Each structure stands twice: as C-alpha cells, then as structure tokens.
Structure 1
Amino acid sequence: MSVERLITDNIDVWTSTVKTKSASGRGSSKKIELYGIKKLRELILELAVRGKLVPQDPTDEPASVLLERIAEEKAQLIKDKKIKKNRKQPTITQEEIYFPVPANWGYARLEDIYDVRDGTHDSPKPTLEGYPLVTSKNLSSGKLDLSDVKLISKEDHLKVQERSCVDRDDILFAMIGSIGNPVIVDIDVEFSIKNVGLFKYYNRLLSCPNYLNYFLKYAAEIMKKQSAGGVQPFVSLGKLRGFVMLLPPLAEQNRIVTKVDELMSLCDQLEQQTETSIEAHQTLVEVLLNTLTSRADAQELMQNWQRISEHFDALFTTEKSIDTLKQTILQLAVMGKLVPQDPNDEPAVKLLERIAEEKAQLIKDKKIKKQKALPEISEDEKPFDLPSGWEWSRFGDLGYDLGGGTPSKGNSEYWGGPIPWVSPKDMKRDYIDSAIDNVTDKAILETTIKLIPENSLLMVVRGMILAHSFPVALTKKSVVINQDMKALIFNNIEPEFLLVVMKGIKNEMVDLVDRSSHGTCKLVSDKLWNVVLAIPSLRQQRQIVEKTSELLNICDQLKARLKESQTTQLHLTDAIIDKAL
C-alpha cells in the first residue's frame, strides 16, 4: 500500500486520535496532542529511513561507492591537517542495524559520513555586545531562533570557533535537555554554540543536508531512549559520532526529501484543519452553554437547554467541552437556576441576619477583631436577577477571615507535628485533611499562625496558579495555612454550597487578580472580601449541593467514557503504524 493510500484510507484515525497532555507544569495553551498526526509524521520518517518511501532505482550509484568517496575526502582533510583524526570506532554490530538495508544502500557511523563536533562546555561570560551563544533552547521550535540568546565577547567566540565553526547548511543538534530538534543553519550570522552537536560535511557535494536533517529527527527518538542523565538527559559527542546511519544513494536521498516534504506538508494541512475544527467545536459549545447563563426567564432557559440536549452526543465529545459543561453547571447553581424555588423556604435575609448577629457576638466576646464595614452593594454590582427569597451578600460578611504564615524552618520543634500546614501545593482537591508538611502545637503557641477549624474555606491568594485558576477547598480537620493563603471561618452556610459557589465564579475571581510586571499574581483582600454572592435559604443550599453533585458525577462518567474511547483510538493508531512497518 502506498503512503498516500495509507493516509487517505485512515484519514479519520489520523485526525480524530488525540491525547490529553500532562497537567503538570505551567501548561501550554494547547491541552491536547494531535496524537494521530504526530504518529503519522513519525511513520513517514521511519518509512523514509527504511527505504520504503520511494521506489529503489537500480541505476543509482550505490551508497557503497558514495561512502568510499566520502572516506577519501575525509582522509585528505586529515592529511591536510584541516581536521583531526578521531579514535577508531568499533566494528558495527548487527544489533546497531535496526532493520534490513535495501540492496543499494549502505551503513556507517555518523562520523564516517559527516564531520561531527560539538560546541563549548564552558560558560563564557555574557556581554552587552558581541556574538550570539546558541544553546539547546534556541533549537526547541525546530528552527534556529536567536531572539532570546546571550552574547559573548569576540575573544570567547574565537575560542569556540576553533573547536566548532558553524557555516550555512551545517546542522545543529541539541545534546542536552530536549535531545534532538535538528535544524539546518540558514543564516550567515556568526555565532557560537554550547552543548549543541554540529554536523559538517567532508564534501558538501557528496551530501544532502535535508536528508540528514530528517534522519536526525528519526535518530533523536532512539537517542532519547538511550540518553544518560536524570533531570537533564544528554547524549555525548561519542554517542553522536558512533550512531549508525543507514545511507541511501545520493540520488535517492534527494527523492526521499522531495517525498517527505510533500507528505509533511499534507500533515501540516491535516493539523491545521483538525485544530480549526476543534476550536470551532469548542466555540460552538461555549456559545450554546452561555445561553443558559444569560439573563433569561424559565421558558427561554428550557428552550435553550432543549437546543443543546438535541445535539448532546455531538457537542460533548472532548475533555474541554465536558469541563465547560461542568463550569456551566456550577454557574447555574450560583444563579439559582439548577433547582426549583420553594416560596415556603425561609428568606435568605433572615439567614444573613443570624450570621451578622453571630459575628457581632464574637466581636463582643473579643474572640475576633472588629473589621472595617464593607460597603453597601450597588445595583451595578449585581450580575443577574435574584430568584425569589435569595439575597445578595459580600463574601466577607459571611464569616471572618484568617491569614497564615511560615514558622521558622530553622526550629525543628515547629515541624513534623500532627497539624497540617497547608500551602498552595496542597490545594489540588476539594477537601483538605492532610498536607505535605505538618507543624506542632508549639509552632501555634509561639508563632503568628492560627488554627483554622474544620469546615472552613481555604483559598489561594498569591501564586502563579492565579493566572488561570482560583483554588478553593474545605477543611475536614483543623489546619494552619501559609502566607499565600486565606481562610474564611463561617457558620449558618452549608459548607459544600460555599465551595460550589466559589468554584462557580472561578473566572470572575481570576479577573480580579493583580499581575505584576515580573509575573507575580496576587488577589488582594479588599477585592476578595468585597465579592458579591447570591445566597439562598439553607434548605435550598442543600438541594443545590445535591443536584450539582449529581450532574457533575454524570460529567465525570462522560469523561471516563471519553478516555476509554481515546485509549481505543490510540491503540488503533499504533496498530495501523505497526502494520505499515
């Protein structure tokens, strides 16, 4: 089967097979990987280096003759003292040849075909003016990027040039960190390299740089698996020089490059179309769900939901669409649109009066300090029409707040106790009953940290996470918190209801975050405690919690089924790849 046929016959597999990226790190905006198209690109490269991409031409000059001519050029360069003679490499073993070699192909170690070097291993002193020092990060985009590069002096540059002078058409290869990312040098700017492999030619006329570039992309995947190092994996110059390359005749190298370019261009088109389709699908989901949370009466709300429910199976087919549905459910809960209203319920104003009375008593008993009164809620601050019996309240009026701190790390008597010391890194779940670090009773007695009771609401108010999220959680036992957190201690409000509310207004909370020029994110107390919330009766709060839990569980089931389907698609994609090879 031709590669074109392989692509077209399985077009749905390539474009529909996606993989969710890891949630760790300061994530990219793209949370899914187009796994099918990624595997298709890998397949094209593998077919290319196996000699299965273009027909063999018996009239081509055999690769064995090409290797002899390259060896002669190398020997002459050594004789003329233009390059040094490297130590002799061991004979190539069968284990180093990963698959059968076509009849007119040959194989050799990379250093027998190319002049393989690397850059400096030192750290030249940065200067305000001078020559760019290229490292692995400047290759990470798949192109040579000098937009973020340190400059070094002419003296240091000339030292590096003695070891590894870079010319146009040479190929650079990242040797540390993200191994690989080979790029062809397509500029005439002078620069130095550090911890980067350099492939030069014994005779440019006997080489096809684009074929070498494609081969190195394939080889990089093997080298990554064989690389040394832990946090910073690396491949040594010796490994790079000794890697075995299966070499086609020069004429076939050029034909392969033409075909790979053509097929990679097709992959680019598929990728663009798939991304556009995914983005359009998500936009449609968001527009339709927004009609549920807009200012609409009950009849219009039902009409909007009917429109969505008729196409439910087609709409909620990605993790992002299901996450958007979950957020909409939380928003509907906040707005009182999730459960019917009961005119017999006690009005929320009575509930808020009891909360205010209890807070006043705590102040009178000197259990908490009197806080500055929060301003009256203006009409402009009310984001939607309240259901009958509900009431608006400032967040800070629902209870009283406590901050946190860090006991001295130098005092061992403060640490290792039974009391969880909660920091933002612990705020990855809805309920907190433990933490990575714990403190002792002595720490509470002798430092400024305060014990926060069970069923209090914890919030992160400082940290990079606030750029895109607002972590909240309920305490299930007494805890203390660090200085990047705030806690609201409250009674007369259903704890799970308050958790639902704060998760439901996540986007609004993120919009309140202040961002400094160097990226620090902070939600100041004045903005936090002045947030306006809609409060129903206690009975209604419990109903909302129950209904929200029920609907979110259905969403989680949808996600689980989606993951099963995605796993099946991944296996199908891998099976097609294996069959093609």
Structure 2
Amino acid sequence: MDTKALREKILDLAMRGKLVPQDPNDEPASELLKRIKAEKEELIKQKKIKRDKNETEIFRGDDNLHYEKFADGSLKMIEVPYEVPESWQWVRIRNIANIIAGGTPKTSVPEYYGGSIAWITPAEMGKKQKNMLFENPQRHITDLGLQKSSAQLVSKNSVVYSKRAPIGHINIVPFEYSTNQGCLSFESILVDSNFYYFEIKNVKADIENRASGTTFKEISATAFSDTLVILPPIAEQKRIVAVANELLAIVDKIESEQKDLKNLSTQLKKKVLDIAMQGKLVPQDPNDEPASVLLEKIRAEKQKLFEEGKLKKKDLEEITPVNAEDNAYYGKLPKTWSLTTLGNIGTWISGATPKKARKDYYQNGSIPWLKTGDLNDGYIHEIPDFITELALVETSVKIIPRNTVVIAMYGATIGKLGITTFETTSNQACCACLNVSEVDKNFLFYYLLSYRKQFIDSAFGGAQPNISKEKIVITPFVLPPVREQLRIIGSLTKFESIIHQFVQ
C-alpha cells in the first residue's frame, strides 16, 4: 500500500470539503472572515500587528466567478484551484494570519545565545518532519539577542514554515519561540492552526512554484502571504482536523506494520536463502548426476577453451577453498554436492573506463557500458550509457555476453547484482562471470546474494572500500547437481512471489 499517496488523498479530500459533512448550523466562513477583520483592526490599534497594505478581498460574483478586490477599489477576476462548499470561502493567507519573519543575532556575541527563547531553523525543522508538533528545541537565544536582531517572538501554537533550504518544512510550535531568517511563522487570527498546518502542506506545490532565486529557491514573506487557501467555518475546521488526525494515525499504523512486515520478509528471505545454500530447501535425488562430475566437465570445458586460445593458462589453475577443511558450515553439505571456489566454475573479468576526454569513445556510441549503479539485484533490461566501437578496440573494456551474472566491487554498491539481458561492456567496478556451463546463472545469482554480507565485511580501503576480482575468485562456492540447482531456483522463486504478495 502506498501510504504517502494515501496521506495526500486524505488531505486532498479534507481541503475540498469531502472528508466530513457540512453542518448548516455552522457560522459560515463569510461571517468568520468579518470577525477576523474586526480582530485584526483591534490588534492594529493595540500595535500588536501592522496594517497590511496589500490586504485584498475575494468574493464570488453574480456570474458565479471569483473576483479579488484590492485596496484601491479595483477588481480582478481570479481562478480558484477547485470548487468548495457554499459555506466556505477562498482567502489569501494574509487575510487570516499575521506572517512573521525571523532573524539571526550576531553569532560573535555570546550574550545573544543560550537563553530561554527557542530559536528555530530549517535545519532543525528537517529533523522533526515526522511529527506535527515541534518539540524539544535544541537552540535558544536570550532576550538581548531577540532585541538586538530582526528575530521576533511568535505566539505559541503558531505554524512555522521553512522558506528556503528547503521550502516546505512545517510544524506547529506549542510554545513561544523565534526563528532565523530561513523561516516564516503563521500566527493565526481566529482560525485553527492545526487546520492550516494541513492546508499549507496541501498547497506546498503552489508555494514552490512561486518561489524565486538562482542558487536556491526561496519564498518571500509577501509571496507566502499571497498564497490562496480555503476558509471553512471554524467548527468545520475543527471537525476536519479531528477526522484527519484519526485517519492519518491509521495510515501511520499501516506504514509501521508494513515496515515490520518488510523487515520480517527480509529476514525470512535471508534465512531461506541460507537454508537453500546448505542443501536443506529441497530434497536430494540420488539419481541426479553428482556435482563432482560437473566439476570434471567444467575442467574439460576450460581446457578446450584454452586450446582454442580463448583462455590463458593461469585460468586453468585450480583454486582451493580458503579454510574449507575447518569450516563447519560447508562440512555439512549433501553428499551429491561439491565445495569449490567461484574461480573454479567460470572466468571472472572486470571492465574499464575509456578516457572521458576522448569524445570519440562515447559520442554516438552503440555498445552498452554498464556501471554499478545499473545493477538492480535482478535482470537488467536497459542502461543509459554507451561507448563506441573505437573504445572497445583501443581500451581494455571487454564484452559481457547476455545472461551473465555481474557483481559490484566498489563502495556502497559492493555485492549488488544483476543479470544481463543483452551484450554489454562494463566499468572496472563491475566483475562478471563468463564461461559458466554447468552452473545455472540464477543459482549463481542466488549464491552471490546469500554471500553479500561476507563480501561487504571483507571489503578493504579507505574512502571507497572495495573487494577485488582476486578476492572473488577465491571465495568458496557450493555446487549442487544441475537438476537440484533448478529445483532450488524454483522453490526460491515461488517463496519470493508469496512474500511479495504479503509485503505489497
């Protein structure tokens, strides 16, 4: 279930008047707006807020269209995003709230910091977006810091909004606070702050579209105040908040259970994969050709390739599994299985990166060039990068046939896997297994998947840890009979399908 889309749908319904029924006994928004205007006038008289010279009034005309009346008496027809119930009204944010900007006291003056006034920044807000309320502030300024800067004291239960870096972090602050210049505060006037927490989240795209700036986008206090929002009756605002919170709590629970289920499914997959690689997932068939015979066939195939000049003599060398004799895990394999190494079952190659300065190596290239970011732990159907025939001839890149298993060796992608569905090349961070005649590609894929943690744990290096091709070829590999490989693959595929249904 897409819980993000579900949350968005709940808010969308709420802001269209479709989440709770309208009550004809509610005071209509038009009357609420009159009371808000009167309250603002009183606050202006008390010098608690300044008069907004950009104040406008939105109304529906006799032609059923929406118009905006400006301070000079002029009218302009406006488009509203959607129709709302008759008892609602469209307003600008400036009509229903006092918008307060922030500031930063000089950091060079210690006396400005460490006081009792919470001082909120977008960076700290970013850590609190999972919750509606902004609690446990980490930074504070003093009364002196407030007086000596453009920071302002904001009433408790106001909505704080990040105006840049990034735009759109939002919380309700249940105590008096101040902010830096990266935030704006919505100090409500006779409207429900909790409702406008949801409404402002709902119009985030519109706010972002009206932001300006080159290095980074920013929404100014004026542009934020111009945001078109809906005004339902105050009683309905509270009903919407109650129902929305109830539904969103259910979505949170679903999401939590989905995460628990996903974690459980991941653990189950690892366990089943581990059981499969011990020969305990499917029963052995005494009629299967044993793996020891497969190894002989692999040796014979390698010898043939050597004689044809397709392999080097060093590729014929047998590699003994490291610590195989005292490894209890591998000592319990079925009798028809064999313990060998990845190097013994095929030829492992890594790729290269043609010089980026050589445009003729890349421009109009038609040969796919695989990177570790293209590995998706599944079949690879398309990749974005290509090189030219010239690059193939003049550099050390190598052709990787279709239906080849590829593993990532570098950095954060160590152990990522993919199976090619087309002929390709790769960069040096990828390692591919060629000439695998007696090992099913899907079984090799599952084995490498089961071994991923060991590969990651054995990585070495500083800024970008890696595993080498040399480390891969000496890695132990359990080889079942071919027919048992296919039975194991069938069981794993069926199990994954069942798990996928539950997780979805």
Normalised by the length of structure 1, the TM-score is 0.62
The CA distance in 1 between the partners of 2:105 and 2:422, in whole Å, is: 54
The answer on whether the counterparts of 2:133 and 2:174 sit within 8 Å (CA) in structure 1 is no
Q: SS at the partner of 2:366?
A: strand
SS of equivalent residue, structure 2 residue 286 = coil
- Structure 2 vs 1, CA of residues 165 and 62 (structure 1 numbering), >3 Å: closer, same or farther? same
Q: What does residue 421 of structure 1 align with?
A: 369
Matches within 5 A, 1:130-279: 134-135=121-122, 137=126, 140-141=129-130, 142-144=132-134, 161-162=149-150, 165-169=152-156, 170-175=158-163, 180-186=168-174, 190-194=178-182, 196-200=183-187, 207=190, 211-224=192-205, 227-228=208-209, 237-247=221-231, 252=234, 257=238, 263=243, 266-267=246-247, 270-271=250-251, 274=254, 278=258
Which of 290, 293, 303 is matched with 1:347 structurally? 290
Is contact 1:138-1:148 (8 Å) kept? no
CA–CA distance in 1 between the matches of 2:372 and 2:402? Answer: 18
CA distance, structure 2, for counterparts of residue 59 and residue 345 of structure 1: 81
How far apart, CA to CA, are the structure 1 residues paired with 2:178 and 2:460? 37
197 and 455 in structure 1: CA distance in 2 versus 1, 3 angstrom threshold: same
Q: Is the 8 A contact 2:405 2:444 kept in 1?
A: no
**Alignment gaps of 5+ in structure 2:** 61-65, 67-78, 114-118
Partner of 1:25: none
Shift in Å, 1:382: 2.7
Offset of 1:411 from its aligned partner? Answer: 0.5
Is 2:422 the partner of 1:471? no
Which amino acid in structure 2 is aligned with residue 270 of structure 1? I
Measured on the aligned residues, the alpha-carbon RMSD in Å equals 5.2
Shift of 1:383: 4.9
| 2:398 counterpart SS class | coil
* 2:10 matches 1:69: no
Equivalence map 1:25-424=2 (5 Å): 33=3, 39-40=9-10, 43=13, 47=17, 52=21, 56=25, 62-73=31-42, 75-76=44-45, 83=50, 85-87=52-54, 89=56, 91-92=58-59, 94=66, 95-96=79-80, 98-102=83-87, 108-118=91-101, 134-135=121-122, 137=126, 140-141=129-130, 142-144=132-134, 161-162=149-150, 165-169=152-156, 170-175=158-163, 180-186=168-174, 190-194=178-182, 196-200=183-187, 207=190, 211-224=192-205, 227-228=208-209, 237-247=221-231, 252=234, 257=238, 263=243, 266-267=246-247, 270-271=250-251, 274=254, 278=258, 324=269, 334-336=277-279, 341-356=284-299, 367=312, 369=314, 373-374=319-320, 375=322, 377-380=324-327, 382-383=329-330, 385-416=332-363, 417-424=365-372
SS at match of 1:488: strand
SS of residue paired to 1:115 = strand
- Verify the 8 A CA contact 2:378 2:419 in the aligned structure 1: yes
Q: Deviations over 1:495-535 (max 9, x none)?
A: xx233333255243135314899995644556533433221
Amino acid at match of 2:428: Q
Say which SS state the counterpart of residue 452 (structure 2) adopts.
helix
Change (3 A) 1:432 1:62: closer
Q: 1:488 aligns with which of 433, 438, 441?
A: 433
Alignment match, 2:75:
none
Q: Secondary structure at the match of 1:450?
A: coil
Residues 383-441 of structure 1 deviation map (CA, whole Å, 9 limit, x = unaligned): 57333321111222222322222111110121143322111233237455764222233
2:370/2:425 contact within 8 Å kept:
yes
Percent identical among aligned pairs is 20
The Cα shift of 1:377 comes to: 1.4
The answer to whether the aligner puts 1:443 opposite 2:430 as a matched pair is no
Contact persistence 1:228–1:235 (CA under 8 A): no
Consecutive unaligned residues of structure 1, counting only runs of 5 or more, are 1-17, 20-32, 291-323, 567-581
Aligned to 2:116: none
- Contact 2:368–2:386 (CA under 8 A) maintained in structure 1: yes
Aligned match of 1:533 in 477, 496, 500?
477
Which range is displaced more, 413-422 or 373-382? 373-382
Partner of 1:552: 493
1:71 deviates by 3.8
State TM-score, norm by structure 2. Answer: 0.70
CA 1:368–1:47: 2 relative to 1, 3 Å: farther
Structure 1 contact 456–490 (Cα < 8 Å) conserved? no
Distance in 2 between residues matched to 1:61 and 1:430, nearest whole Å: 59
Q: Do 2:120 and 2:178's aligned partners in 1 also have CA atoms closer than 8 Å?
A: no
Instruction: Show CA shifts across 1:1-57 (max 9, x none).
Output: xxxxxxxxxxxxxxxxx32xxxxxxxxxxxxx2765764566556659x98477846
1:319-358 C-alpha deviation (Å, 9 max, x unpaired): xxxxx5xx77766654445665443443312322443466
Of 439, 457, 466, the residue aligned with 2:405 is 457
Change (3 A) 1:271 1:239: same
**Structure 1: which amino acid aligns with 2:32?**
A
Pair 1:407–1:498, CA change in 2 (3 A):
same
* Structure number having the greater helix percentage: 1
Query: Residues of 2 paired with 1:148 and 1:421: CA distance?
Result: 48
* Deviation, structure 1 residue 447: 3.0
Contact between 1:474 and 1:499, CA under 8 Å: does it hold in 2? no
Alpha-carbon distance change, 229 to 90 in structure 1, aligned in 2, over 3 angstroms: closer
Give the whole-Å Cα distance in 2 for the aligned partners of 1:125 and 1:420: 55
Match of 1:311 in 2: none
Name the CA shift for 1:413/1:62 in 2 (closer, same or farther; >3 Å): closer
In structure 2, the CA distance between the partners of 1:346 and 1:555, relative to structure 1 (3 Å rule), is closer
